[in-house]
Amino acid sequence: MSTGQERFNAFKRTNTILHHLRMSKHTDAAEDVLLEKKGCAGVITLNRPKLLNTLTFNMIRQIYSQLKKWEQDPETFLIIIKGAGGKAFCAGGDIRVISEAEKAKQNIAPVFFRVEYMLNNAIGSCQKPYVALIHGITMGGGVGLSVHGQFRVATEKCLFAMPETAIGLFPDVGGGYFLPRLQGKLGYFLALTGFRLKGRDVYRAGIATHFVDSEKLAMLEEDLLALKSPSKENIASVLENYHTESKIDRDKSFMLEEHMDKINSCFSANTVEEIIENLKQDGSSFALEQLKVINKMSPTSLKITLRQLMEGSSKTLQEVLTMEYRLSQACMRGHDFHEGVRAVLIDKDQSPKWKPADLKEVTDEDLNNHFKSLGSHDLKF
């Protein structure tokens, strides 16, 4: 059987599992994502507003397939992605479903993460201008749908975070690529603590390329759709005009500006233990607050994440996604991811019992096993 046929069969099996898992809660899966040709653009609308537009396997598969078609279509000049409902762009992947399936011995994680990371790469290498309107909650998988694209437009309602260390995972979807490339050690800080950035600060941090007041977002979209056979420069010019005219928080400085020296010095260490020691030595209220946060995170996740970013800083996006795929499968086999999902999303007691519970119990061997090649099961592009 060809590799293509095997993948197709795996997709079908996974779809069936996810369909059964979701049927009791949600019946109109076909409308979870809207894919429409409007004017000069292909428009992707994530359409699960009551569930903060969290991503299902089916949504990822549909977006990937349509993105590839639009990329080849001479009448499609740009691609716009947005979230329905005004509350969230996308709060991430539907990880509760993945955890439930894994516990039920329905092995969907290999295919879910494979196709999600393939989509992240397709966005990063998209030959058409790609505009993500990141209005509202933008976390985890939602960051993967936006940050690798050419244009990312934040509003004052944008709430960005990569909170994976709190659920026994790591900042995936290419986090190992874009986070270490942010100014100084900002990306390491965001990755390890899950710190939330809001509004114009998402632009100031370098995650968004433009900032627009939310009341102008619909007009911006209309102006983009009305362009006639636009070039990348035409699209950039429209975005730049709206950005220049935006007024909200224009005169405020970056919320982390006063802490950047501390972030750069404390998070420049090569081990999590040293970072913790640096924060203790610093002793400022900001440093001690971060220490408190880090101490609640999965020790395994913290160590994986630091190494992921250090290695990712010199890798291509594709190389990072291959590395992250290995990490994702190791996390599915482990304890902390399922415990994190239970504590944060299912029982909501916010008291995960990590194993190991202490950083010093996470050995180099444990760490190396997470990064090991999967041989023929590796993610390839």
Is 86 catalytic? The answer is no
- 83 belongs to the catalytic site: no
On the CB side of 69, CA atoms within 13 Å amount to 13
Task: For residue 254, give the DSSP letter.
Answer: P
**Roughly what angle, to the nearest 10 degrees, separates helices 285-294 and 272-282?**
150
Q: Which of the residues 164, 201, 324, 336 is marked catalytic?
A: 164
Tell me which DSSP letter residue 138 carries: E
Exactly one of 32, 94, 156, 172 is catalytic; which is it? Answer: 172
The answer to whether residues 354 and 298 touch, using CB atoms and an 8 Å cutoff, is: yes
Q: Considering 39, 83, 92, 93, which one is annotated as catalytic?
A: 93
End-to-end alpha carbon distance in the chain: 19
Task: Return the beta strands (E) in 164-265 as ranges.
Answer: 197-198, 210-211
- What sign has the CA pseudo-torsion 314, 315, 317, 322? negative
Active site residue 174: no
Please give the DSSP secondary-structure letter assigned to residue 152. Answer: E
Q: Rounded CA gap, 274 and 278, in Å?
A: 6
Distance CA 304, CA 321 (A): 14
Is 164 considered catalytic here?
yes
Residues facing residue 160 across a β-bridge: 138, 197
CB 59 within 8 A of CB 32: yes
Catalytic positions, written as ranges: 93, 141, 164, 172
